[in-house]
Amino acid sequence: MAQAAEERDNSFDALVIGAGAGGMAAAARLNKAGFRTLLVEARDRVGGRASTVEQDGFLVNTGALIIETGGENGRLFADVGVSMGTRVPSQPLALRVGKRDVPLLSGVIGTLGMPLIALAGLAARRFIRLRPKPGESLGRKLEGRGPYLRGLSRNITSAVFAAEPSDVDAAVVFDYFTKPKALDTFGLHPDGSIGPWRALADRFEHTGGALWLNSPVTRLTFDSDGRVNGAVVQRNGEEMEISTRVVVSNAGPVATVNLCGDEHLPAGYAQWVRSQSAPSALITVNFASEQLLTRATGVVFFGPTRRLAYAAHLTATCPEMAPPGWYLYAGTSTPHPAVGAFDVDTEVGLLKADLTEKFPGFESARILSVQVCAGEEWPAQRAIAGRDLPQTTPIANLFNVGDGAREWGSGGQSGCVQSARLVVERIARELPRHDRLSSSSD
Ligand SMILES: Cc1cc2nc3c(=O)[nH]c(=O)nc-3n(C[C@H](O)[C@H](O)[C@H](O)COP(=O)(O)OP(=O)(O)OC[C@H]3O[C@@H](n4cnc5c(N)ncnc54)[C@H](O)[C@@H]3O)c2cc1C
């Protein structure tokens, strides 16, 4: 009897590895669709690179600062029936022109510019010659253009793709900005970026999903047909085996092949995945002051700078993120190069020089942290937009979600959430209901 109960406790229809945006979305959707789902996360919190840690009373984000509340994110939270709990800043996105912050989602640009950009996209979808040819980088397209346009473009590709114009295909930039509702509404959560993901995790657990924090998966196991049939998880200091019918990995394509072991994959596949990997980098200075250092109330993009691409005033919308009397800010840059090795000290110095210039009073601000998101384990983006790997793998019941496996022309957390929706729709088609262990809700 006890053995049967233990087997059931460790048997799942679906295992999701990693509770980042893609993993959370996959787990929530699988659970909602009636799969007995286990979500395992190596860290002590959900959200991955869209999470938050507490530091001396300040809520400091681990990566993402704002979340798109419509599009794929809005659809996920509506489908699962969870409120995101976000607040929309009075001016969510702005462009600093001289000393003025020009709103991008309202005013002249919001009411005329954005619809015109969307119209250009509509026209380009009908008349293909209007769209930049795939294969040519934005940097190449901008050759010979003035320094303002090139500087602004660098900061926009940094903010949206964590890349320099020479890294990204002009067609992917065009498709991103001209898709319907490209720049939808953005919000901030009073608990920081972790807020929406924690709300989703709570609903997941309350509706039958199992969430194990501090529990890294160390390897996947396979049956004699070469399908994945389980995983080894480190939990409470012990290794334990769980069985599953399908695995969704949010650990990134390279980590996924490492969890498989090359010997379980078709010859050459693991090497191919590793050779495709080109994670990009972002550097963020989180700082606080008892003085108001800017009138911005959301995220501000900058024209040409040394490095600073965008900055956010978080307490303008969510004062709960700092102790009373304090203002909390973050300023972010893409180093040069954005992919591969760079000189961290030089790059941090350039970012701080920009912050000194753009935020009078920065020199006396309290620096809470300097976060360098780079490399395979904690990148800004696992893949440059347009160069993501497929969500499917050569193992029929093993999938990737997250920012190494997004659709063309998507980005941010919503691109990860979309990858999860597509994977779960596929799993639901391929693993019929009567084959599953249980139906929790739906
Ligand atoms: C500095 C910065 C600023 C950004 N700003 C924004 C923004 O403002 N808005 C926006 O929408 N996007 C932003 N992004 C992008 C966005 O944060 C990421 O694209 C997104 O959060 C990545 O989600 P993911 O699904 O790939 O999962 P990840 O965040 O990569 O999470 C994966 C999770 O898997 C866990 N894991 C890995 N291996 C294992 C294992 N073996 N076992 C168990 N768990 C494992 C990890 O601990 C992690 O929690 C920003 C990114 C950065 C770095």
- Please report, for the chain, the start and end positions of each structural domain, with discontinuous segments joined by +: 2-85+192-277+384-435, 106-178, 280-373
* pLDDT, mean of residues 77-92: 96
Please report the pLDDT score of residue 109 as a whole number: 66
Please report the pLDDT score of residue 442 as a whole number: 44
**pLDDT of residue 215 exceeding 70:** yes
- C-alpha angle 113-119-125 in degrees, rounded to nearest 5: 145
* pLDDT, mean of residues 291-303: 94
**pLDDT of residue 441 exceeding 50:** no
For ligand 1, atom 38: residue with the closest CA: 251
Please report the pLDDT score of residue 112 as a whole number: 66
**pLDDT of residue 438 exceeding 70:** no
pLDDT digits (tens, 9 = 90+) for 348-382: 999 999 999 999 999 999 999 999 999 999 999 99
Please report the pLDDT score of residue 314 as a whole number: 98
Mapped onto helix, strand or coil, the DSSP state of residue 209 is coil
pLDDT band at 276 (very low <50, low <70, confident <90, very high): very high
- Which DSSP symbol is given to 105? S
For ligand 1, atom 33: residue with the closest CA: 18
Question: Quick one: what percent of the chain has pLDDT higher than 90?
Answer: 83
Choosing from 16, 49, 388 the residue with most ligand 1 atoms within 8 A of its CB, the one to mutate for a pocket test is 49
* pLDDT, mean of residues 406-424: 96
CATH number of 280-373: 3.90.660.50
* pLDDT, mean of residues 52-66: 97
Computed over its alpha carbons, how large is the radius of gyration of the chain? 22
* pLDDT, mean of residues 128-142: 89
Which atom of ligand 1 is nearest the CA belonging to 216? Answer: 42
Candidate CATH numbers 3.40.50.2000, 3.40.1280.10, 3.40.50.300, 3.50.50.60; the one for domain 2-85+192-277+384-435: 3.50.50.60
Please report the pLDDT score of residue 274 as a whole number: 98
Backbone angles phi, psi at 207, to 5 degrees: -110, 25
How far away, in angstroms, is 49 Cα from ligand 1 center?
A: 3
Amino acid identity of residue 118, one-letter, is A
**pLDDT of residue 219 exceeding 80:** yes
Please report the pLDDT score of residue 130 as a whole number: 76
**pLDDT of residue 3 exceeding 70:** no
Question: Quick one: what percent of the chain has pLDDT higher than 70?
Answer: 92
Torsion of CA 168, 170, 174, 175, to 10 degrees: -70
For ligand 1, atom 19: residue with the closest CA: 412
Please report the pLDDT score of residue 8 as a whole number: 63
**Which protein residues are within 6 Å of ligand 1, measured from CB?**
17-23, 40-43, 48-50, 63-68, 216-217, 250-251, 255, 282, 284, 332, 373, 380-381, 402-403, 412-413, 416
Please report the pLDDT score of residue 34 as a whole number: 94
How far away, in angstroms, is 426 Cα from ligand 1 center?
A: 23
Which secondary-structure segment (H or E) carries 172? helix 170-178
What is each CA distance from 416 to 22, 183, 251, 306, 411, in whole angstroms?
5, 16, 12, 30, 8
Please report the pLDDT score of residue 5 as a whole number: 55
- Which DSSP symbol is given to 312? E
Task: Name the residue with higher pLDDT: 112 or 236.
Answer: 236
How far away, in angstroms, is 128 Cα from ligand 1 center?
A: 34
Please report the pLDDT score of residue 111 as a whole number: 67
pLDDT band at 440 (very low <50, low <70, confident <90, very high): very low
How far away, in angstroms, is 382 Cα from ligand 1 center?
A: 9
* pLDDT, mean of residues 282-300: 96
- Per the CB < 8 A criterion, the answer to whether 419 and 436 are in contact is no
Neighbours of 386 (CB within 10 A): 21
How far away, in angstroms, is 141 Cα from ligand 1 center?
A: 30
Residue count of the chain, please give it.
Answer: 442
Which atom of ligand 1 is nearest the CA belonging to 312? Answer: 8
Helices and strands counted in the chain (H then E): 13, 18
pLDDT band at 207 (very low <50, low <70, confident <90, very high): very high
**pLDDT of residue 107 exceeding 80:** no
Mean pLDDT of the chain: 93
Q: Count Cα atoms within 13 angstroms, Cβ side, for 266.
A: 7
